[in-house]
Amino acid sequence: MERLVPRGETSGGASTANPRLMAQGQESRFLRDIARTPWFSEFSQSYGERPNLSRDADYDYRKAWAAGVRPEPDPYDDNRHHWPSSLPSGEMLKSPKHPTLWKEQYMRATGQNPDATGVTEAQWQQMQQQVPAKAIIDALRRSK
């Protein structure tokens, strides 16, 4: 069994393409195996380029891959493959700059998928602005 290399370290002094990934050899296997997924093919065909798998990507594909997480068909997007926003533990895989991070925030706050309810990012932002005022009004009403 291969061991994971702690963040920022390398195996045997050799550098890896991504120090956050794993022991030497795992990076090349990761890149090979992820390129064989339906998600990778769909992405490349849809956008005319390969996905950004670099360490500065807005999604931690390596952490997801190492945890056994894989993209799954999304019924709200014509069953195209999507990666989950977080690990089962709740640890985020999307960076703060990811364009759909708001969807995970919405799901955590409401327990609902915004794609299922039709909520847009603009509506979610508006809801966030209204919630504090509503909470204050409700608290004042309860105190009377």
Q: 141 pLDDT band (50/70/90 cuts)?
A: confident
Q: Encoding tokens for residue 72?
A: 């799954």
Greater pLDDT, 27 or 139: 27
- Maximal CA-CA distance, the chain: 68
Identify the H or E element spanning 128: helix 121-143
Domain residue extents for the chain: 1-96, 100-144
**All residues at 6 or more sequence positions from 22 whose CB lies less than 8 Å from its CB, including other chains:** 2, 3, 4, 5, 16, 30, 62, 66
Q: What are the tens digits of pLDDT across the range 62-80?
A: 999 999 999 999 999 999 9
Identify the H or E element spanning 81: strand 80-82
